[in-house]
Amino acid sequence: MTLNTTKKVYFVAGARPQFIKLAPVLRAMRSYDLDVRLIHTGQHYDFNLSDIFFEDLDMPEPAYNLAVGSGAPHEQYSLIIHRLGEIFSECRPDLVVVVGDTNSTGAAAVCTAIHRLPLAHIESGLREWNKSIPEEINKMLTDTVTDLLFCPTPTAVANVQELSLRGNVYHTGDPGLDLVFGYMNQPVQPSAYLSGLKLPPQYIYATSHREANTNSKASLESILKIMTGLGYPVVWPMHPRTTAAIEHYGLQDYLSHPDLIVIEPIGFWDSQFLLQHSKCVITDSGGLIKEAYCHGKYVIIIDHQTEWVEVLQEGKGVVCGPELNNVLKYIDHLPSTETPNTALGDGQSSEKIARIIYDFVNSPELREKCLHTKK
């Protein structure tokens, strides 16, 4: 009888930004003799928040779908921990890999830890130092129990050092940007949906879906005032959370403003197309902040802070809060963004991550070290 010694590496993801970061890593993993599986938590389930990225980015079908759906954070956490735990009990992967800072990330990390399995975290070490942000809780929980900390930026590395986290630290860059670097200088073809919209020649690409901006009428109305008060057309692919909140607070009148072009949530390539042709970007999304930076588009952040501090340090973006008057100060005087933007990654992050994963699962010494709870 021959024993199957191929190591099992299970990736867990469930929300839109996670698919973008995982797609190039899963592609890089194909070069290694490993049993790689993707577990979809089902946190995002709409075609435009999930399947479209599998199609756009040629991702493998998930081996499992936990189908947790929408719900309060404690509901998403408990369902993920329960359903993932059953898979872990049966299969005992040699390494679990989580990505980003969503509820799927935090819940999968906790589940991995209680099953005493080794854990890697892609996008480790980012902090906003503010516990009122749901993603910050997921970051804190995840990094505490992570064995392989894949940090996207020098600031993230400095943060994990300051926090004295016990895992092995690697400065890998952001793998989601490998895709952007790969195609940045080539014109992207829009989908039939996007071409059918006949967008104006000059527009601002905008998004907003953060809880802080959508969970009160006052903050959401401030966002809508920005999107309709700039004197430029604004193209806004709207997250279902935002659409539901606008309806809930009775703010639909803003949507008929002539400058506002609200569209369906879009896939990866349509988003790159909008970026390439935009005047600038206005957003509270971490993913779009990074991609705008790579494309050399100035980004106005309609949030009170960002973990992507390199963008601010290099003068490629500004934090304006959800305040129209702050945004207006910049919109007609956008600073130049022409120098190369590589502080968040060099296009090789996925290759680095795949290699480290392969070496880890094949090293009994490194795996043994995971049991140590102090450095």
Residues that bind ligand UD1 in the complex, under the rule CB under 6 A = 15-17, 43-46, 49, 70, 102-103, 134-135, 209, 239-241, 244
Indicate the residue type of 290.
K
Whichever of 27 and 209 has its CB closer to ligand UD1, that residue is: 209
Which among 289, 224, 212 is positioned nearest to 254, based on CA atoms? 224
The answer to whether 238 and 263 are in contact (CB under 8 A) is yes
Which among 361, 367, 360, 352 is positioned nearest to 122, based on CA atoms? 352
Whichever of 96 and 331 has its CB closer to ligand UD1, that residue is: 96
Kindly tell me the number of DSSP H helices and DSSP E strands found in the chain. 17, 13
Q: How far is the CB of 132 from ligand UD1 (least distance, A)?
A: 12
Which among 32, 39, 141, 132 is positioned nearest to 93, based on CA atoms? 39
Q: How far is the CB of 80 from ligand UD1 (least distance, A)?
A: 11
**What beta strand segments (E) does the chain contain?**
8-13, 35-40, 64-65, 95-99, 119-122, 148-151, 168-171, 204-206, 234-237, 260-263, 281-283, 299-301, 317-319
Helix (H, G, I), strand (E, B) or coil at 182: helix
Whichever of 24 and 287 has its CB closer to ligand UD1, that residue is: 287
CA dist., res. 72 & res. 93, Å (int): 28
C-alpha angle 100-175-203 in degrees, rounded to nearest 5: 85
Indicate the residue type of 36.
V
CA 209 from centroid of its chain's CA atoms:
13
Whichever of 135 and 178 has its CB closer to ligand UD1, that residue is: 135
Whichever of 302 and 324 has its CB closer to ligand UD1, that residue is: 302
**CB 38: neighbour CB atoms within 10 A?**
20
Whichever of 18 and 112 has its CB closer to ligand UD1, that residue is: 18
Q: How far is the CB of 367 from ligand UD1 (least distance, A)?
A: 29
**CB 366: neighbour CB atoms within 10 A?**
16
Whichever of 28 and 309 has its CB closer to ligand UD1, that residue is: 309
Whichever of 121 and 209 has its CB closer to ligand UD1, that residue is: 209
Whichever of 266 and 331 has its CB closer to ligand UD1, that residue is: 266
Residue carrying structure tokens 């989601």: 176
Q: How far is the CB of 17 from ligand UD1 (least distance, A)?
A: 5
Indicate the residue type of 201.
P
